[in-house]
Amino acid sequence: MTYVVIDACIRCKYTDCVEVCPVDCFYEGENFLVIHPDECIDCGVCEPECPVDAIKPDTEDPDGKWTELNAKYAATWPNITVRKDPPPDADDFVDVPDKLEKYFSEKPGTGD
Ligand code: SF4
Ligand code: F3S
């Protein structure tokens, strides 16, 4: 089992989650973070840290869509362990629907 980041994170990317992970298993894209499913120890401490409720246990991902996406990008994006400022317009994207289809970027972030 693992926790996964879902589309609510896209363009919000508050990064409060990365500070609490005991195994540093978050990876940074240009406008999204992912969790490496093979590194996550399922401790659950990151879940309540996200202000937009973008972290879920994979038990809430029955078809594996988010687990697959997290695994795919965790393999290539850089590791992030320290909180950084969110995008300046992050608050404008909190309740925006269809963020995966409209805004998801495959580009890597800068990591730390
Ligand atoms: Fe890290 Fe624990 Fe969150 Fe997994 S559940 S990403 S180990 S903080
Ligand atoms: Fe994204 Fe929430 Fe972390 S918005 S970067 S999952 S705190």
3-5 and 55-57 strand pairing: antiparallel
Nearest CA to ligand 1 atom 2: 43
Q: Give residues with Cβ within 8 angstroms of 93, minimum separation 6.
A: 10, 11, 12, 99, 103
Query: How many percent of the chain have pLDDT more than 90?
Result: 99
Determine the pLDDT at residue 72: 98
The model's pTM: 0.97
17-64 confidence digits (pLDDT tens): 999 999 999 999 999 999 999 999 999 999 999 999 999 999 999 999
Determine the pLDDT at residue 38: 97
Going from the Cα of 15 to the center of ligand 2, the distance in angstroms, rounded, reads: 5
Nearest CA to ligand 1 atom 8: 21
Q: What residue has token string 């202000």?
A: 51
Determine the pLDDT at residue 71: 98
Mean pLDDT of 2-27: 98
Does the CB atom of residue 9 touch ligand 2 within 6 A? yes
Does the CB atom of residue 18 touch ligand 1 within 6 A? no
Cα radius of gyration rounded to whole Å, the chain = 12
68-106 confidence digits (pLDDT tens): 999 999 999 999 999 999 999 999 999 999 999 999 999
Three-state DSSP class for residue 64: coil
**What is the amino acid identity at position 3?**
Y
Q: Please name each of the domains of the chain with its CATH number.
A: 3-82 (3.30.70.20)
